[in-house]
Amino acid sequence: MSIEHVAPYLDGGIKKVQGWCIPQLWNVIQPLHEYQENAGITGPIAEIGVFHGKFFIGLALTKKGQGKHTAFDVFDLQHFNLDGAGKGNLEAFTANLRQFDLPEDETEIRRVDSMALTRRDIAEIRAQRGAFSMFSVDGCHMVEHTINDFRIAMELTQPGGIIYVDDYLNPDWPGVQEGLARLYLNDAPRFVPIAYTCNKLFTCHISYARDMFDHLRETVRASFPNCQVKVVKRFGYDCLNVKPDYTGPSVRL
């Protein structure tokens, strides 16, 4: 398992990077990563809205050596940042990649408005990178952007992959929850909710949902027994609400 690459980062390095995620996210990410490893599901990661790289670096270290990762952000093109949800900084992002042993040639940086990505762009990315094993949606938090970015993530993530949606229940960004509600109530997305923790909704392909959910419920309870775990229904699917033990370990080594 390649989880050892991310452990030092979570133990201290993550605090040096500006942004909004916590090490205890890996109480849920580690079991899903191990499920993928056991099932032979590999591949790089991607994120829309990387800011300074706090979550991107953690995912890239988790999947280190599994391909070239991709970062999408408007960076200095702030006229596209319609809701002001974090002003990305390209220099800070690349400096953080170097600091945590992620050479720039291991990451493709796309300075782009995700709303402007075309089907041809998406097909080109898929042809160059293959399908991603993990994809984080954390760009503009408006309804339209959330729907657009989640659809892009579904196109670029392999069936055994995970899509994370940031700020799902954050009251400051209601567009995220509304966007996903519109999507699930008016359509039938093939990626469905399986977990919510630390401000992020975790989704996986419907074909893997039952197996991943069962593995996640069993493994979180066994590996992180002080987490509070509750099963709820989200859009008709079993979803694990996880409140981590904030004083406990982020990963099990």
The CATH code of the domain that includes 57 is 3.40.50.150
Dihedral angle at the C-alpha atoms of 209, 215, 220, 225, nearest 10 degrees?
A: 140
**Neighbouring-strand partners of residue 126:** none
Is 252 part of any domain?
no
Q: What is the span of the domain harbouring residue 106?
A: 2-243
Is 251 part of any domain?
no
Is 212 part of any domain?
yes
pLDDT tens digits for range 84-95: 555 668 999 999
Is 250 part of any domain?
no
Is 249 part of any domain?
no
Is 219 part of any domain?
yes
Distance, CA of 115 to CA of 146 (rounded, Å): 10
Residue 78 has pLDDT above 60, yes or no: no
Distance, CA of 117 to CA of 97 (rounded, Å): 24
What pLDDT was estimated at residue 84? 54
Is 49 part of any domain?
yes
Nearest to 53 by CA among 115, 127, 106: 106
pLDDT tens digits for range 184-224: 999 999 999 999 999 999 999 999 999 999 999 999 999 99
Nearest to 154 by CA among 137, 179, 174: 137
What pLDDT was estimated at residue 77? 52
Is 176 part of any domain?
yes
Q: Considering its fold, how many domains does the chain have in total?
A: 1
Strand, helix or coil at 46? strand
pLDDT tens digits for range 152-183: 999 999 999 999 999 999 999 999 999 999 99
Instruction: Print burial letters for 61-95: b (CB count within 10 Å at least 16), e (below 16).
Output: bbbbebbebbbbbbbeeeebbeeebbebbeeebbe
Judged by phi (left if over 0) then psi (alpha if -120 to 50, else beta), residue 124 lies in alpha
Burial class (CB in 10 A: 0-12, 13-18, 19+), 246: exposed
